[in-house]
Chain A
């Protein structure tokens, strides 16, 4: 045996110790002064010397590929910053992973939070106020002001609008024509109810067509609009009001449609069922428009959109996602992350995002960009979402700020939609849960809002 190749126990242990030290040093190398490192990833060689920004995205499918394309365009447009988009699942999953990352002290720099989840990080002082990053050539005024205001608390901007949406009323023009209904959205829910009687018995592809369906998970967002339309609310400030008569009446309306009129049901995905012509109408996110249009084209039928019908009021909630920068990223990375936010807010890029995904234009000037202007002109359905912006309202405080409140509400709704449970009893129970949960975070909210 060649003794020169024999590794002694001592040299092995010494080597292992040196390797451990090297790994520790390497592991600490990306940490900021606050002790937070950056989420790991891969940087292509040609971008290796740039400031790396990790963006945790909640977008898959078309929005996911569109965001990646924009990041690629940004990376190729300059030579200082490299944005690495890392898909982290739904908004809830991205939020959960960000919470875990905070515990592991290895965080992303930029995160796409939903209108609900960003509050969780704001209330725990984990977000960076963004006002100081705006400069002369990029002012906050570029954003649609109603949408921008939803990310402002205590006079500071924490969350910038990006993939914003509202519930929109969709209808199957072809089925409407077969049932002898007019080619427009109903003025109010009572007119819609009359139409449901006319549509009863209609079949498509051998299946009985229903008037609408309710989204099993996260359906409390659409129902927020229903409660307002009936004159109620989930909460008044931090006082829970979901068990008041107006909110109860809104849910009772839906319960009756399911179990008495047999014209509605609870579905895993209303968009899928609408695309398969199982329902003639649906109220869901503007972000579903491209999916519905594509399905209609493939199936040989036509989609129409309209404002969500009124009852006592005509109003819809905003929803969707925005961008926040994590407070404990290094200053260099925070500046680099904001450079990408600025890039996304460029009207041409914002318009590209809207055209590809169907989300509402969060940047005012985007609607004048030729690509979006052409689409809005050619396809009136996209224009309806933009026009409905005049009817939007920020969601009730308890749903936005109290952890798990959305789950409590949609779990209650599921009991009504699937079990025919008495509405008042369910909502009394939900109100009690919401009040208890609000009590646990009230001091924290009052300190921050």
Chain B
């Protein structure tokens, strides 16, 4: 890093091209004689030709949908009519005065907090466990990761069976405790906790494996020094493990929040947002408004709200949480 900084300070960058070290003077770039510029012109074209496919791909499939969605959020359109009527911000006003949408926002927050906090804690705990020298460790690691690679449809079907109050696998587990299995997916009280459990099961394995990779890269010498100074396991965990894992935690926190906001497949299969609207989260609300109610305007407005929320949360995390991340 120091040598790169020094090179940058001198206005010089180094790199390799075709195995030969090349050096270019930044201050001289873009200048030169007209003849030299003419010689470089094909190089720019070549550069543009190389980046064009990816650039177009990102533009068409990432940015254009967001821009077009922003436009749709200002219209009244049933997804079949040839014309879209501009209605300004009316869709946003409708959403923020709709009790169902406000309830959806509350449920989304409960779901996201439940999934993110739960899966991060369980993932870290699982990783700490898998980091021990246990018999059958590799098998257990594979099993822990397996739910992450299953499709949402398979997970939904599996958990519908597990949660079945009459025949489900959870029933005999609760019976010895004198408890009966509640009607998980047909009860407004239990459906959202049930979905959070399913998503915890789905995402914990992935988080555990990423944490495990982080744990295995921690420097042993720090632990040895701290142990020599008399630090106990809890102190080692709190003062060394957690701070050194903070880049991993930061990455997982960001990605888990985004994926929890976008959770859709299991909800679609298990509850369809019900009973009532008790498991309607933002992503289901958007789908329901757009494709079931044929109301593209309100769906697009809700999607823009979700987009802004995610961007804002990511920016806030980058601004405030990243300060506490210890990059080695």
The interface of chain A, by Cβ under 8 A from chain B, is 92, 96, 99, 102-103, 120-121, 124, 126, 207, 216-217, 265-268, 276, 278, 403-404, 407, 411-412, 414-415, 417-419, 421, 437, 441
Contacts and interface: CB of A to CB of B under 8 A. Distances in A.
B166 A276 contact: yes
A411 B274 contact: yes
B294 A414 contact: no
Interface of B: 78-81, 160, 166-167, 183, 185-189, 272, 274-277, 288, 291-295
A99 B275 contact: no
Contact of A418 (B78, B276, B288, B291): B276
Contacts of A103: 79
23 contacts: A99-B294, A121-B80, A124-B78, A207-B166, A265-B183, A266-B275, A267-B186, A276-B167, A403-B292, A404-B292, A404-B293, A404-B294, A407-B292, A411-B274, A411-B276, A414-B274, A414-B275, A414-B276, A415-B188, A417-B275, A418-B188, A418-B275, A421-B276
A435 B166 CA distance: 39
B292 A411 contact: no
A275 to B, nearest CB: 12
B185 A419 contact: no
B293 A407 contact: yes
B166 A403 contact: no
Given A268-B160, A415-B275, A124 B80 contact: yes
Given A266-B275, A411-B274, 11 more contacts: A99-B291, A99-B294, A124-B78, A216-B186, A266-B183, A268-B186, A407-B288, A414-B275, A418-B186, A419-B275, A421-B276
A403 B295 contact: yes
Given A217-B274, A411-B276, A418-B275, A124 B295 contact: no
B50 to A, nearest CB: 11
A54 B166 CA distance: 42
Given A103-B79, A268-B160, A411-B274, A419 B293 contact: no
A403 B185 contact: no
A105 to B, nearest CB: 11
Nearest to A405: B293
B276 A419 contact: yes
A120 B183 CA distance: 35
Given A207-B166, A265-B186, A278-B166, A217 B272 contact: yes
B295 A404 contact: yes
Nearest to B191: A418
B116 to A, nearest CB: 27
Nearest to A121: B80
Contacts of A278: 166
Contacts of A403: 78, 292-295
A103 B293 CA distance: 16
Contacts of A419: 188-189, 275-276
A441 B76 CA distance: 12
A143 B185 CA distance: 41
B170 to A, nearest CB: 15
A437 B98 CA distance: 14
Contact of B81 (A124, A266, A415): A124
Contacts of A418: 183, 186-188, 275-276
Nearest to B288: A407
A346 B78 CA distance: 37
B80 A96 contact: no
B295 A268 contact: no
Contacts of B185: 268
A99 B294 CA distance: 9
A265 B166 CA distance: 13
Contacts of B81: 124
A99 B166 contact: no
Contacts of A217: 272, 274
Contacts of A266: 183, 186, 275
Nearest to B82: A124
8 A-B pairs closest in CB distance = A404-B293, A418-B275, A124-B80, A414-B275, A415-B276, A96-B291, A403-B294, A414-B276
Contacts of B167: 276
A378 B45 CA distance: 79
B80 to A, nearest CB: 4
Contacts of B188: 414-415, 418-419
Nearest to A407: B292
Contacts of B288: 404, 407
A120 B79 CA distance: 10
A441 B292 CA distance: 15
Nearest to A102: B80
Contacts of B166: 207, 276, 278
Contacts of A411: 274, 276-277
A126 B277 CA distance: 32
A266 B165 CA distance: 12
Nearest to B270: A268
Contacts of B80: 99, 102, 120-121, 124, 126
A123 to B, nearest CB: 8
A251 to B, nearest CB: 14
